[in-house]
């Protein structure tokens, strides 16, 4: 059974940093691209970032480019999102999601999310 468990969320002041983690199990982690997708309170889904299975390719939404860094440690079956220069508009529930085999741009399994609140 695929399991994705996010952690690392919390309250941070504008301009601060936070590192999210996602522990994966139930599948061969390094075979799959991985996503971060966020959802502001009461709003829709916003794709944030993707990393290829080998970690060699990364992609970002314009809204986070230059501030967020996605990475993975395949030896630990873990995905990360380093978030710097946080803004109030980054407040959201952050989901880790696994890419569908053959369709890496499609998240098929999602974690339950970790809440990031950016507030002074």
Partner 1 sequence: DIQMTQSPSSVSASVGDRVTITCRASQGISSWLAWYQQKPGKAPKLLIYAASSLQSGVPSRFSGSGSGTDFTLTISSLQPEDFATYYCQQANSFPPAFGGGTKVEIK
Residues that bind partner 1 (CB under 8 A): 37, 44-47, 50, 59-62, 95, 100, 103, 105-113
Q: Which is nearer to partner 1, 62 or 66 (CB)?
A: 62
Q: Which is nearer to partner 1, 16 or 60 (CB)?
A: 60
CA–CA dist 36, 75 (Å, integer) = 19
Q: What are the angstrom distances between the C-alpha of 36 and each of 17, 120? A: 17, 25
Name the minimum Å distance from CB 18 to partner 1. Answer: 20
Q: What are residue 90's phi and psi, to 5 degrees?
A: -85, -5
Beta-carbon neighbour count of residue 56 at 10 Å? 7
Name the minimum Å distance from CB 50 to partner 1. Answer: 8
Q: 10 pairs with which residues across the strands?
A: 116
Name the minimum Å distance from CB 37 to partner 1. Answer: 8
Q: What tokens does 65 get?
A: 């480019």
Q: Which is nearer to partner 1, 27 or 109 (CB)?
A: 109
């Amino acid at each position: 059974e695929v399991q994705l468990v996010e952690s690392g969320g919390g309250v941070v002041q504008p301009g601060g940093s936070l590192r999210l983690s996602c522990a994966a199990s139930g599948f061969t982690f390094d075979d799959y691209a991985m996503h971060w997708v966020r959802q502001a309170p009461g709003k829709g889904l916003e794709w944030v970032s993707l990393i290829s299975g080998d970690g060699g390719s990364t992609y970002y939404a314009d809204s986070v480019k230059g501030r967020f860094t996605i990475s993975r440690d395949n030896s630990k079956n873990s995905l990360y999102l380093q978030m710097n220069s946080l803004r109030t508009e980054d407040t959201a529930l952050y989901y880790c999601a696994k890419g569908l085999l053959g369709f890496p741009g499609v998240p098929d399994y999602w974690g339950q999310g970790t809440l990031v609140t950016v507030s002074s």
